[in-house]
Structure 1
Amino acid sequence: MNQLVAFDFESHHVRIVPDVHGEPWFVAKDVAAALEYRMASDMTRMLADDEKGYANVRTPGGEQEVSIISEPGLYRATFASRPQSDEKAEKVERFRRWVTHTVLPSIRKTGSYTAPGAPSPQPLPAMPPPLQVQVLAHLEVARTLASFVPGLKPELAAACALDAIHQDTGLTMEPHRRGLPSAAEPPARLNATQLGQKLGLSARKMNLRLAACSLQRRNEREEWELTDAGREYAEAVPFSRNGHSAYQLLWRPEVLGVLEDAARSSAISVGLG
């Protein structure tokens, strides 16, 4: 049996139990309550098999089997959460920051579980402070991109963050990457230049045609962003260039049919006119 340690998040107790390797696992019921899922099963069904499980733990009422999720599973659950109101969205944001800025850094820094009332700290491998800063910085960038970039899927932002962590620190991210999409080869692969080459158009004219078909639009920063219709055919994919992070719109080949249909309709209208 394992000893539970509870950390307090606002009005919620989030209990954590270490596995045989000392890695933290979170009680699914507690995380689901903090993220306002209707039931813990609504959250755990989206997780990969190696991101969830069960543990026998000691409780005041005796031994109990509880559903638990791993650290990667918790990241996936928070990124995938879709709050229905601004108030709930703010709560999810506070929970994300609490986990990444308070709970996990505390565990990594001290090398043990230290919470009020914890009878015997369980040792964990400590992560050197410089690595903590790098890892948390990448996760924060992914969280920000997923929150503010229209069309960027949270799981793709998380995948890109894990790849960036591996490249930046050399830490093995493969166990965390399982079940997430390939950041290097997303399903949508064609940028505006490549689309234009297929139709004999420049990148500028292709962007204008995509906009004319209501698939993308200019935002206040004069950048192209996806419309609701465009999200069916493209993804906003984060990338890094010359030390600066940004995103690009990559399209699936199916969008060519939409563009060609629009061009034919336009030609027919001109002919009839």
Structure 2
Amino acid sequence: MNIIPFQSPDFSVRVVEIDGEPWFVGKDVAEALGYEEPGNAIRQHCRGGAKYTPISDSLGRKQETRVISEPDLFRLVVNSQLPSAEKFERWVFEEVLPSIRKTGGYQVAAAPVKQATEALKLTPLAVRAARAFGLDKNAAAISANQFVHKLTGVNLLENFGNTHLVAQNQDALFFTPTELGKMMGGLSGQKVNLLLAGAGLQAKVGEHWKPLDAGKDFARLYDTGKKHSDGVPVQQVKWSDTVLPLLKQEEVA
């Protein structure tokens, strides 16, 4: 059994490799997330079957220690009231897990069915977290799909035959990046464009911004009545204000 300690200036978590998969010491996770009674938190929020493994304590004694899976770790994150829970989540999923995969701590190329199963388990939790951040249903679904795709390599929307979701409010008003910036406390249009790009909603093609598949639910193209030097009509991209929660999330990331 391979025990891997991970530490940052703010958190410390031990990860145990069991049958080629990472399991987290439940007490470490619960304490990092500010739960006053780690044992109760694990029993209340974790749905996976109780799993214990012998781990040496500070005196070298073997103690049967509760470990939890990735989905259960995410459940503890979602239910934590600690302001730094989001920071802990980013640390685990952007640094700890990629480090384990990179160093061969457990299998990187899991079977497709296994990967899809993990994606299906994580998606409802990711949607719940996105909704907690203030995103509407479709924005939460898009964000959750992007998060799970990044984590597992499985794009569930694409596999279900949907490259995008239809906007909930087709009559929503659409605004320029400059107008959105004013709604966000006076950000410049340039800054908003960078946030849109950082959120994976648009990309720059030549001198112009173009909505990506993930952004098409929020964007509309408008004819400005002008033409480029080659005669092609100049179009302006405007965005629904429903994109604001995504931009605010990107701003604090």
- Which band: TM-score by shorter chain? 0.3 to 0.5
The higher radius of gyration belongs to 1
